[in-house]
Amino acid sequence: MDVGFIGLGQMGKAIAANLVRAGHRLIVWNRSAGPAEELARLGAEAAAHPRDTARAEVLMTMLADDEAARSVLLEQGVLDGARRGLVHVNLATVSVRFAQDLARVHRERGIAYVAAPVFGRPEVAREAKLNVLVAGESSAVSRVEPLLEAFAQRIWPLGSEPERANVVKLAGNFMIASALETMGEAVALARAYGIEGARLLEILTSTLFASPVYQGYGRLIAEQRFEPAAFPVRLGLKDVRLALQAGEAAHVPMPFGSVVRDSLLEAIAAGEADLDWAAVARVALRHAGLR
Ligand code: NAP
């Protein structure tokens, strides 16, 4: 299939490379030139302007946040220059409100809009094992499924309103952030009584909490290994803030979300914005006078 792809950050680069490997013809654009040149070496075409990508049959975007997507899709005219019948698949974690706005803007232009945010970090994307949450008009979803299969372990359909996929994605990241917060507090408690954090996490993640989130992030916390950041604190704060906003819009209190938001803010104030968001566990240690 002819696919336009915008946004070749850690996630986008891995996904686009898998699409090329699966035999699709990609035309790619990224704000900074380096990643597009890397993809060109794999066989993709590098576009001179983001608008050029919207002449394909399907456009995929994996931009950092609402602001980046607004800037590229709307202000730089990508949607205005889109070919008739285009399906746009937005893989990024954006706000529920923006997902609703995007659905409307696409409808007005006769472009199909599919939200397909993903669970899985960059290494999971490289292995083509992402869990893809997908929502949008069913005919558009069916058309893009063969593309999603090129990088998905499993595709989870969530109905025809795109924002539903974003709600599930934000709920998931809120739960990961909460797990990071509780692991940080539990490690601080153990350390205050002379028990190594690594030992506590080894016991808990082998027994009561033997699941991917606790085991994967527990290892990072036990080893205090927060660089290189697969998902930085600044993006984690974005997602918890988006979950709180979505809750507020629907009158859903999320008191624990507010606690976690403040811990992420505190990590940023301590100069840790670009560390992996598992570093938020250190906030609880500092509160307890520990390092
Ligand atoms: P990233 O490595 O920081 O990449 C961000 C991408 O957005 C880059 O291509 C960047 O371009 C582009 N960008 C940022 N601001 C822009 C602007 N104003 N105009 C144009 N382009 C702009 O982030 P990532 O980890 O790939 O994450 C991308 C999305 O996936 C986010 O929504 C994130 O929440 C979500 N996600 C991430 C993970 C993860 O573990 N990392 C997992 C699941 C979902 P430049 O290269 O020029 O900076």
Question: Where residue 12 sits, what CATH number does that domain have?
Answer: 3.40.50.720
- pLDDT value at residue 100: 97
Same domain, 62 and 134: yes
Same domain, 208 and 116: no
Residue 219: pLDDT band (50, 70, 90) is: very high
Same domain, 152 and 171: no
CATH number assigned to the domain comprising residue 217? 1.10.1040.10
Same domain, 261 and 147: no
- pLDDT value at residue 101: 97
Mean pLDDT to the nearest integer, 262-267: 98
Cis omega (within 30 of 0) on the bond before 228? Answer: yes
Same domain, 66 and 193: no
Percent of the chain scoring above 70 in pLDDT: 100
Mean pLDDT to the nearest integer, 118-130: 97
CA–centroid distance, residue 290 to ligand 1 (Å): 33
DSSP secondary structure letters along 141-204: HHHHHHHHTTTEEEEEE--S-THHHHHHHHHHHHHHHHHHHHHHHHHHHHHHTT--HHHHHHHH
Choose one of 134, 161, 188: the last residue of a domain: 161
Same domain, 84 and 25: yes
* Integer Cα distance of 221 and 214 in angstroms: 10
CA–centroid distance, residue 65 to ligand 1 (Å): 7
Q: Give the rounded distance of the alpha carbon of 221 from its chain centre.
A: 21
Mean pLDDT to the nearest integer, 204-223: 97
* Integer Cα distance of 57 and 40 in angstroms: 19
Same domain, 80 and 210: no
Q: Are strands 87-90 and 112-115 parallel, antiparallel or unpaired?
A: parallel
The number of distinct structural domains making up the chain is 2
Same domain, 131 and 28: yes
Choose one of 130, 145, 161: the last residue of a domain: 161
* Integer Cα distance of 233 and 283 in angstroms: 12
pLDDT of 147-181, one tens digit each? Answer: 999 999 999 999 999 999 999 999 999 999 999 99
Mean pLDDT to the nearest integer, 110-117: 97
Choose one of 161, 185, 207: the last residue of a domain: 161
pLDDT of 29-58, one tens digit each? Answer: 999 999 999 999 999 999 999 999 999 999
The structure tokens listed for 6 are 């915008």
The structure tokens listed for 226 are 């927060």
* Integer Cα distance of 179 and 156 in angstroms: 23
* Integer Cα distance of 89 and 16 in angstroms: 13
Mean pLDDT to the nearest integer, 193-203: 98
The mean of the pLDDT values for the chain is 97
169 is catalytic: yes
- pLDDT value at residue 289: 97
- pLDDT value at residue 50: 97
Same domain, 155 and 177: no
Residue 291: pLDDT band (50, 70, 90) is: confident
Mean pLDDT to the nearest integer, 227-247: 97
Is 62 close to ligand 1, i.e. is its CB under 6 Å away?
yes
Answer whether residue 266 shows pLDDT above 90.
yes
* Integer Cα distance of 81 and 54 in angstroms: 7
Same domain, 120 and 188: no
Domain that holds residue 205: 167-287
Is 257 close to ligand 1, i.e. is its CB under 6 Å away?
no
Same domain, 12 and 97: yes
Mean pLDDT to the nearest integer, 202-214: 97
Residue 269: pLDDT band (50, 70, 90) is: very high
Is 32 close to ligand 1, i.e. is its CB under 6 Å away?
yes
> In degrees rounded to 5, what are phi and psi of residue 39?
-65, -35
Same domain, 14 and 122: yes
